[in-house]
């Protein structure tokens, strides 16, 4: 297992979000996390990615227990080992699409020339080189999301966390993003944790985990 969470509990004030949830993800696997609104699926993803610390329970990435790491080391791990795609891209509005994709590499100390050459490769792969010099606000929703996928993959992450990556897109663009995201992840051997409420999006996964009332169920064992 590349990622394993056990018995996670997390509350926001007096509202419980996770109540004993767990998940295991193998290297290179695409796992869909589904469930009704407010069931805790995004909280689970944030705990798995080390963005949130659970109140109790453990999250292991390879042999590292995430909640035991100091904040700085967790941030470094996120930058170097994880990639992120969110519903609205969350690209930096002041930068061009090319600069956005190169950003994770630049933050890691890579030269501008080298970082942008790698970024161009990923923009080509995601079929969005035409917008490389545009700012995110000048692109369509589908293009912006493909730029966000390129940014998530540029630093060769071991795990990609995607939270409703097609939530703001129409069916055709959503399908295209999912096809490109999952095929690129499979080619590079990255695992994907995909939070979605859309079954057609989840159908790009290898396996499904359902979260209800803060508890998770691996659907592989439901049949």
Partner 1 sequence: MSIGHALLGLLESGPKHGYDLKRAYDRRFGHNRSLHYGQVYSTLSRLLKNGLVTEAGVEAGDGPDRKRYAITDAGVTDVEGWLNTPEKPDVYLQNVLHAKVVLALLSGRSATDVLDSQRAAHLATMRELTRRKTGGDLADQLICDHALFHLEADLRWLELTAARIDQLAKEVAG
Q: Phi first, then psi: give them for residue 137, nearest 5 degrees.
A: -70, -15
Binders of partner 1 in range 82-141 (CB under 8 A):
none
Could you say whether residue 148 binds partner 1 (CB under 8 A)? no
Q: In the stretch 196-215, what mask flags binding to partner 1 with x, by CB under 8 A?
A: --xxx-xxxxx-x-x-x---
Provide CB contacts within 8 A for 72, sequence distance 6+.
none
Whether residue 61 contacts residue 159, with contact meaning beta carbons closer than 8 Å, is answered with yes
DSSP code at position 39? S
Q: Phi first, then psi: give them for residue 57, nearest 5 degrees.
A: 95, 175
Q: Find how far residue 221's CA is from the centre of its chain.
A: 24
- The nearest distance, CB 114 to partner 1, in angstroms, is 33
Could you say whether residue 181 binds partner 1 (CB under 8 A)? no
Whether residue 210 contacts residue 16, with contact meaning beta carbons closer than 8 Å, is answered with no
- The nearest distance, CB 200 to partner 1, in angstroms, is 5
Could you say whether residue 36 binds partner 1 (CB under 8 A)? yes
Q: How many residues bind partner 1 (CB under 8 A)?
A: 19
**Residues at the interface with partner 1 (CB under 8 A):** 36, 179, 183, 198-200, 202-206, 208, 210, 212, 217, 219-220, 222-223
């Amino acid at each position: 297992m590349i990622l394993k969470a056990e018995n996670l509990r997390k509350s926001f004030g007096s509202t419980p979000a996770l109540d004993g949830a767990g998940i295991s993800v193998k290297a290179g696997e695409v796992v869909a996390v589904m469930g009704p609104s407010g069931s805790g699926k995004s909280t689970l993803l944030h705990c798995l990615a080390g963005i949130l610390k659970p109140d109790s329970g453990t999250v292991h990435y390879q042999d590292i227990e995430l909640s035991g790491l100091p904040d700085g080391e967790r941030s470094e791990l996120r930058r170097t080992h994880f990639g992120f795609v969110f519903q609205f891209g969350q690209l930096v509005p002041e930068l061009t699409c090319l600069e956005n994709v190169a950003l994770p590499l630049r933050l890691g100390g890579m030269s501008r020339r080298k970082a942008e050459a790698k970024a161009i490769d990923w923009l080509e792969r995601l079929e969005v080189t035409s917008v490389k010099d545009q700012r995110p606000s000048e692109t369509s929703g589908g293009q912006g999301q493909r730029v966000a996928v390129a940014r998530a993959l540029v630093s060769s992450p071991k795990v990609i966390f995607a939270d409703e990556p097609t939530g703001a897109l129409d069916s055709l663009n959503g399908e295209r993003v999912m096809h490109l995201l999952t095929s690129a992840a499979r080619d590079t051997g990255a695992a994907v944790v995909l939070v979605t409420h859309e079954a057609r999006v989840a159908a790009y996964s290898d396996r499904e985990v359902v979260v209800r009332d803060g508890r998770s169920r691996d659907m592989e064992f439901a049949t």
